[in-house]
Amino acid sequence: MNDCLVIGGGVIGLSIAWELARRGQSVQLVDQGKLAREASWAGAGILPPAARPLAIHPYDQLRAMAFEMHREWSARLLRETGIHNGYQQNGAIYLARSAGEVASLVAWSQLASDEQVQIEKLTPARLREIEPAIAPAPSSKPLRATYFLPEECQIRNPRHLQSLIRACQQAGVELIENSPLVDLQLHGGEVVAAITSQGELRAKNYCIATGAWSGILLQKLGFEVGVLPIRGQMLLLKTDAPILRTIVNEGPRYMVPRDDGHLLIGATEEEVGFDKRNTEEALADLHQFAIELVPSLASAQVVQSWAGLRPASYDGFPYLGKLPNLANAFVAAGHFRSGLYLSPATAMVMSDLISGITPAVDLSPFCVLR
């Protein structure tokens, strides 16, 4: 019998499987479809800076732990698999125009300063110096607050996921695709088997990491948690050479420049159930957002669009921990807009918990019964 069955092969499940296997555990991972093709593939890979020594809330501690770990994980994945996940420090500009967005950006900048994250309030001249391509159309609302976070990083999700899959295989994780888990059999306060469309799987411990679908399995176990799929649509542009140097964020929308001239424009936040289609209206809005801020993008080629389903919870925190009243069942889901970012720290705390070690971060705010 394997030590652990991880259910769900997105960035959360794969990261946990890799970490457990590196600790010497025998691990199976099962996915309902192909590995790493859902939210984790669709995301932008933005990694906002955070600093650990001064983080007070467990969520901020988790962010800070993740931010530190990405550098180390990226280097290790490259060494072990030969795949470069695109980890790089671009820095980021944060902009706000409406009164509401200015208020939340100013509050957020204060949190960053409190955590001693490097942050600079920009004058228009300094903004032009850092990111000369930003030139909002005169007809658009003026920029009312602008900050620069030089430490912000990015990874390229599909490459990161490929490297995780290879690292899992090399570490002996058995990866099973196209086998939806339909039920978990319980006996004596424990999970005794996972029932998939292909048959039964048994392990000492079970970890649910099924992203936006997690509510369905948790409900079967008697936990009414609010995991909602929130659609995010994305547009990919291409120019001969990169036009932006930094990641540019405005409210929930952003532009992420890749080295090769590709530019990601994201993302919508839509509550439309498990519908992953793009809509013309949303793509036109994203396109217009980009061109309004960076007029030189008007001539960029539109390459591709896609959508993914973020796993959201009602209070914005993920569900992380052991399931109450079940001795060997765990959950790691509901990371909403930050699953890529939080994935290494999630893997660390979940692997500690599954191995019987007290995690470095207090997980009580993330309990399913909160």
Ligand X SMILES: Cc1cc2nc3c(=O)[nH]c(=O)nc-3n(C[C@H](O)[C@H](O)[C@H](O)COP(=O)(O)OP(=O)(O)OC[C@H]3O[C@@H](n4cnc5c(N)ncnc54)[C@H](O)[C@@H]3O)c2cc1C
- Rg of the chain over all Cα atoms, to the nearest angstrom: 21
From 2, 25, 32, 146, residue interacting with ligand X (rule: CB under 6 A)? 32
Q: Does 213 bind ligand X (CB under 6 A)?
A: yes
Q: How far is CA 36 from CA 13, 32, 197, in A?
A: 9, 11, 19
Q: Does 333 bind ligand X (CB under 6 A)?
A: yes
The piece of 16-24, 27-35, 53-61, 124-132 that touches ligand X (CB under 6 A) is 27-35
Q: Tell me how far apart the alpha carbons of residues 188 and 200 are, in angstroms, rounded to a whole number.
A: 18
Owner of token pair 């391509």: 133
From 31, 115, 152, 250, residue interacting with ligand X (rule: CB under 6 A)? 31
Minimum CB distance to ligand X smaller for 59 or for 295: 59
DSSP conformation letters of 358-369: --SS--GGG-TT
Q: Which long-range contacts (CB under 8 A, 24 or more apart) does 134-140 make?
A: 134/93, 134/95, 134/244, 134/248, 134/293, 134/294, 135/293, 135/294, 135/295, 136/292, 136/293, 137/291, 137/292, 137/295, 140/97, 140/292, 140/293
Q: Does 345 bind ligand X (CB under 6 A)?
A: no
Q: Does 349 bind ligand X (CB under 6 A)?
A: no
140-159 mask for ligand X (x: CB under 6 A)? Answer: --------------------
From 86, 211, 257, 321, residue interacting with ligand X (rule: CB under 6 A)? 211
Q: Tell me how far apart the alpha carbons of residues 98 and 295 are, in angstroms, rounded to a whole number.
A: 20
Query: Which residues 5-24 are close enough to bind ligand X by CB under 6 A?
Result: 7-13
Residue 325, by phi and psi: left (phi above 0), alpha (psi -120 to 50) or beta?
Answer: left
The piece of 17-25, 39-47, 77-85, 276-284 that touches ligand X (CB under 6 A) is 39-47
Query: Which residues 242-301 are close enough to bind ligand X by CB under 6 A?
Result: 266-267
The piece of 76-84, 136-144, 276-284, 338-346 that touches ligand X (CB under 6 A) is 338-346
Whether 205 and 322 have beta carbons less than 8 Å apart is answered as no
The piece of 28-36, 117-125, 140-148, 235-243 that touches ligand X (CB under 6 A) is 28-36
Applying CB under 6 A, which residues contact ligand X?
A: 7-13, 30-33, 38-40, 42-46, 180-181, 209-213, 217, 232, 234, 266-267, 308, 310-311, 333, 335-341
